[in-house]
Chains A and B, each alone.
Chain A
C-alpha cells in the first residue's frame, strides 16, 4: 500500500477571547489523531487554548484570478467607513 496520510489545516486560538488563526498543517489519518498531532506540533510552547483541524481537501478557496470582481467593488464604498462623515471638531465622542 503506497498511500499518504491526509493533510489537515490547523487553526489555533491562542487565548480565550481571540479568534482561531491558521497556523499551518499536519498529516493525520483521522480527526482524533489530527487534534493530537496539532497539539504535539503547534502548542509545545503554550501557543493555544483551543484547536480546530479541517481536512485540507474540504477547504474551498476563492480564485485569485477573480479577485477583481470579488474585492474591488468594495473599494469605492467609502461611506461604509466612519471617516466619510464630516462632523464638527467640538463633537469629541462619536
Chain B
C-alpha cells in the first residue's frame, strides 16, 4: 500500500518540480520586473509543494532517503510528470499557455485532494490550494491579455495554446495507481478533474478569443515515464551537482 501511495506522490510532486524548474529558468529574463517577480513567486510556491510531497514520499518509502534523493537522483523514466510541463520557454506566450493549462488542471485536482483520506495529502493540498488559486488568476489574466491584446500577441498565444493543448490529453489518461488511489478516496477522480478543466478552459479561451477546435490529437505518456526529448536536458541541469559530486552535503 505504501508503495502505491509513494508512486502516487511522485506524480503529484514531479509536475510542480519540472514546471517550477522551467519557471526558474526565467528568473531575470521576464518581459519586465513586475512580471519577472510574479513568475518567480509561482516557481517558489511550486518548489514548496514539491518539498512537502517528496518529504512525505521519502518517509513512507521507508528507505532512509531524503527529498533531495528523490528530486535529484532518479533515472529519467522514473520521473512521473506530464509532458506538458517539460515544454520549453519558447516565448512568453508558451510560458503563459503552459502555466494556465497546468493551473486549470491543478486547481480542481487540489480541490479534490483537500478531502483525501490520507491526512498528509489533504494537509499539503490545503496549503497548496491558496497558492494555486493565485497562479490560476495570474495565468488566466495573462491568457486574456495576450489573446485580446494586439494582433501579434493573439497570434502567439493562439499558436502556443494550439500546440500545448495536444499535451493535455496525457494529463487525464488514468494510470493504474491513480485509479486505485481514487477508488480508495486517497487520490483524485480524474474524470471530475477533467470536467472542471474543460469548462474552465472553455470559458477562458472564449474570453480570450482563442480556440482549440480541431485539435483532437494528444501526446501521451509522461506519467508512465515516457517523456519528450526536453526532459533529458532538464535533468542534466537539475542533477548536475548531485551526479558530478556524489555523496556530499551542500
Do A and B touch, yes or no (CB under 8 Å, in the complex)?
yes
Give A residues with C-beta under 8 Å from B: 1, 5, 26-29, 32-33, 36-37, 40-41, 44
Q: How large is the interface on B (under 10, 10 to 19, 20 to 34, 35 or more residues)?
A: 10 to 19
Specify the main secondary structure of chain B where it touches its partner.
helix
Cα-based distance from A28 to B138 in the complex (angstroms): 13
- The interface residues of chain B lying within 8 Å CB-to-CB of A40 are 34, 37-38, 41
* New A-B pairs, 12, CB < 8 Å, besides A28-B34, A40-B34, A44-B41: A1-B150, A5-B32, A26-B34, A32-B141, A36-B38, A36-B138, A37-B38, A40-B37, A40-B41, A41-B33, A41-B34, A41-B37
**Interface check B137, CB cutoff 8 A:** yes
Give the residues in chain A near B32, CB-CB below 8 Å: 5, 27
A33 with B141: CB separation less than 8 A:
yes
User: Is there an interface contact between A36 and B41, defined as CB atoms closer than 8 Å?
Assistant: no
Interface residues of B (CB under 8 A from A): 32-34, 37-38, 41, 137-138, 141, 145, 150
Chain A residue nearest to B137 (CB atoms) is: A36
In the complex, chain B residues whose CB is within 8 Å of the CB of A32? 141
Q: Does B141 lie within 8 Å of A37, measured CB to CB? A: no
Which residue of chain A is the closest to B40 with respect to CB atoms? A40
Across the A-B interface, the 6 shortest Cβ-Cβ residue pairs? A37-B34, A40-B38, A40-B37, A40-B41, A41-B37, A26-B34
The distance in angstroms between the C-alpha atoms of A36 and B33, with both chains bound, is 13
Instruction: Tell me the complex Cα distance, A5–B5, Å.
Output: 48
Nearest CB on B from A11, distance (A): 17
